[in-house]
Amino acid sequence: MEIKVIAGDITQVEADAIVVNVFEGEQPGGATAVVDKALDGAITRLISSGGIKGKFGEVSIIHTFGKLPAGIAAVAGLGKRQDFTLDKVREVAGESCRSLRKLNCHRVATIVHGADINGIESEASAEAIVEGSLLGLYSFSKYKKPEYEDIKEILIVEREEGELPALERGSHKGKVMAEATSLARDMVNQPANYMTPGRMAEVAKEIADKSKLEINIFDSSDMEAMGMGALLGVSKGSSQAPKLITLSYKGNESSESAIGFIGKGVTFDSGGISIKPSEGMSEMKDDMAGGAAVMAALSAIAQLKPKINVVGIIPATENLPSGSALKPGDVIKAMNGKTIEVVSTDAEGRLILADALSYAVKQGLSPLVDLATLTGACRVALGTGYSGAFGNDQELIDNVRRAADKAGEKLWQLPLPEEYKEQNKSEIADIKNIGERYGGAITAALFLAEFTDNSPWVHLDIAGTASSSKGSGYIVKGATGVGVRTLVELALSLATKCAEPFASCHSEGVERPKNLTQGKLREGY
């Protein structure tokens, strides 16, 4: 699909449809008022008759019958003005594009929704329109013809020519973000017979070649040499070879430091010997969504080029039962030397992350952010709208929260209480891999914390948010691509932060003032 930003009057644009908007309980303003006039007051009349309410999510179709070059004027409801947010721009764009695709529109022009409302800048709005449109139109069509033909072109139309550079910048970033999110969705939507650990490594290679990233693919003999007994343990039951994938982006040549993104890549989680009930088991092809998000985020970061170094680490394996599988009660040793009693082979995500986090620490990466479809308990706690956020450094957690907020991805912080650590204590090993029945998302996160060596770290449990059972806004049924945009925004914000007040902290390798680093983010990431 092509996206263009053009200067002009939306009433004059040659397109199959134009999209304008109206707030709930208000009369048309700006470009919508101009379109209303060209349509002899059709929008105003529909508002007074109650046909258009302006409610959020409403898309009203008006056929223009020759009054405008475009055959259709779609009026998108923005809801109440005071409730309007940037994420609503994404949703409005997604909903209106989907409605117009159903009507066989190929070329769609839109005004810039919400710019200057509630502090929303036009650049951010253009970004959100592009993200919302592309993600709302996403479909997974590898094995089945899509239901509708694609919209081929979206035109973002602005009257003020001076606004174009900002809109172009926003539109470019939006396209990069949406394409990366779609890449993650594609990987997650692929069935597990296709998206094996080996295939994940191939996709990583494709990303690395395209984006000029450094790549390492470690196989089981490398894992053995590095002492990754936990990742190897989980992989033992499967005939698919495990892979540990690393993708490195170097945006700051003058710094040796890098931040680490770690993503769980279980390409199918049957539970292993602690096998899951068969009902709903097919959903467990999504268990590599964290790994997919990390890979996709690296591909977007490579295009947006922030001045920061980022390493993505993806432990990829299947979790299957067999004669060679890990058994409940087995004891394995992670790369950092800690022994783990495997009480349930279904708590495998934390095992492979134990090795991946140990590896990240050994590489000196800091801060660390991991993403994992880790626990059903997190989905029970927060539902499917919020990912759980945990961490050992409040400043980093707040940075991640701000990044998520900017990206339109919802997080909710959960605690890491010292007193729950007791639950992970084992009689025969340093730690065991499950706690008590309640608070399972927390004990899982506390388990991970044992492998971070107190580096600043945030864990995002995306078990509830990685896929959706229904489409709305810019979410479609299936994989959501959650986490990609949060990670990219985080990398951008950490790069800017260093570049602005402490420009020297990267370029000359000078340490940041001590009072800002003590117990907080480590210097130089």
**Binder of residue 71, out of ligand BES, Zn ion, none (CB less than 5 to 8 A by kind):** none
| Among the residue ranges 149-157, 208-216, 367-375, 513-521, the one whose residues contact ligand BES (CB under 6 A) | 367-375
Catalytic residue among 276, 402, 477, 520: 276
The residue from 95, 179, 318, 348 that contacts ligand BES (CB under 6 A) is: 348
Do the Cβ atoms of 399 and 494 come closer than 8 Å? Answer: yes
Of 8 and 191, CB closest to Zn ion: 191
CA-wise closest residue to 444 among 378, 358, 394: 378
Binding status of residue 379 toward ligand BES by CB under 6 A: yes
Binding status of residue 273 toward ligand BES by CB under 6 A: no
The nearest distance, CB 269 to ligand BES, in angstroms, is 4
Token pair of 506 as six digits? 């990267």
CA-wise closest residue to 11 among 131, 125, 157, 149: 157
**Per-residue interface string for the shown chain with Zn ion, residues 286-325, x marking contact by CB under 5 A:** -x--------------------------------------
CA-wise closest residue to 396 among 493, 484, 505: 493
Binding status of residue 287 toward ligand BES by CB under 6 A: yes
**Binder of residue 463, out of Zn ion, ligand BES, none (CB less than 5 to 8 A by kind):** ligand BES
The residue from 336, 375, 465, 486 that contacts ligand BES (CB under 6 A) is: 375
The residue from 77, 229, 290, 440 that contacts ligand BES (CB under 6 A) is: 440
| Among the residue ranges 40-48, 164-172, 281-289, 434-442, the one whose residues contact Zn ion (CB under 5 A) | 281-289
Residues 365 and 258: their CA atoms lie apart, in Å, by 5
**Binder of residue 434, out of ligand BES, Zn ion, none (CB less than 5 to 8 A by kind):** ligand BES
DSSP H or E run through 494: helix 484-499
Cite the beta strand spans of 159-251 per DSSP E.
Answer: 214-218, 243-250
Of 68 and 351, CB closest to ligand BES: 351
Binding-site size, ligand BES (CB under 6 A): 16
Do the Cβ atoms of 524 and 255 come closer than 8 Å? Answer: yes
Binding status of residue 388 toward ligand BES by CB under 6 A: no
For helices 289-304 and 484-499, what crossing angle results, to 10°?
Answer: 40
**Binder of residue 344, out of Zn ion, ligand BES, none (CB less than 5 to 8 A by kind):** ligand BES
| Among the residue ranges 216-224, 340-348, 386-394, 450-458, the one whose residues contact ligand BES (CB under 6 A) | 340-348
The residue from 376, 412, 413, 517 that contacts ligand BES (CB under 6 A) is: 376
CA 224 to chain centre: 31
In the bound state, the residue with its beta carbon closest to ligand BES is: 376
* Bridge-based pairing state of the strands 17-22 and 107-111: parallel
Binding status of residue 22 toward ligand BES by CB under 6 A: no
Binding status of residue 344 toward ligand BES by CB under 6 A: yes
Binding status of residue 442 toward ligand BES by CB under 6 A: no
Token pair of 190 as six digits? 């692929």
Instruction: Identify whether 367 is preceded by a cis peptide bond (ω within 30 of 0).
Output: yes
Binding status of residue 16 toward ligand BES by CB under 6 A: no
**Per-residue interface string for the shown chain with Zn ion, residues 232-271, x marking contact by CB under 5 A:** ----------------------------------x--x--
The residue from 349, 478, 481, 483 that contacts ligand BES (CB under 6 A) is: 349
Burial label, 220 (beta-carbon count in 10 A; 0-12, 13-18, 19+): middle
The nearest distance, CB 264 to Zn ion, in angstroms, is 7
Which residues, at least 6 apart from 417, have a Cβ–Cβ distance to it below 8 Å?
442
Roughly how many angstroms between the first and final C-alpha of the chain, as a whole number? 36
Binding status of residue 349 toward Zn ion by CB under 5 A: yes
**Binder of residue 409, out of Zn ion, ligand BES, none (CB less than 5 to 8 A by kind):** none
- List the Cα angle 104/110/114 in 5-degree steps: 135
Residue listed under structure tokens 């590489």: 363
266 three-class SS = strand
Q: Phi and psi for 299 in degrees, rounded to 5? A: -65, -35
Binding status of residue 58 toward Zn ion by CB under 5 A: no
Do the Cβ atoms of 32 and 22 come closer than 8 Å? Answer: yes
* Bridge-based pairing state of the strands 265-269 and 309-319: parallel
Q: Is 276 a catalytic residue?
A: yes
Cite the beta strand spans of 358-502 per DSSP E.
Answer: 368-372, 387-391, 411-413, 431-432, 457-461, 467-468, 478-479
The DSSP letter of residue 272 is: T
**Binder of residue 375, out of Zn ion, ligand BES, none (CB less than 5 to 8 A by kind):** ligand BES
Binding status of residue 377 toward ligand BES by CB under 6 A: yes
**Binder of residue 76, out of ligand BES, Zn ion, none (CB less than 5 to 8 A by kind):** none
- What is the residue type of 80? K
Binding status of residue 269 toward ligand BES by CB under 6 A: yes
Which residues, at least 6 apart from 67, have a Cβ–Cβ distance to it below 8 Å?
38, 39, 40
Token pair of 118 as six digits? 């509630």
User: Left, alpha or beta for 26 (phi > 0: left; psi -120 to 50: alpha)?
Assistant: beta
**Binder of residue 42, out of ligand BES, Zn ion, none (CB less than 5 to 8 A by kind):** none
Binding status of residue 434 toward ligand BES by CB under 6 A: yes
| Among the residue ranges 68-76, 215-223, 343-351, 447-455, the one whose residues contact ligand BES (CB under 6 A) | 343-351
Q: Is 98 a catalytic residue?
A: no
Residues 479 and 469: their CA atoms lie apart, in Å, by 9
Catalytic residue among 350, 406, 432, 485: 350
Residues near ligand BES, by CB under 6 A:
269, 287, 344, 346-349, 373-377, 379, 434, 440, 463
- Which residues does the annotation mark as catalytic? 276, 350
Residues near Zn ion, by CB under 5 A:
266, 269, 287, 346, 348-349
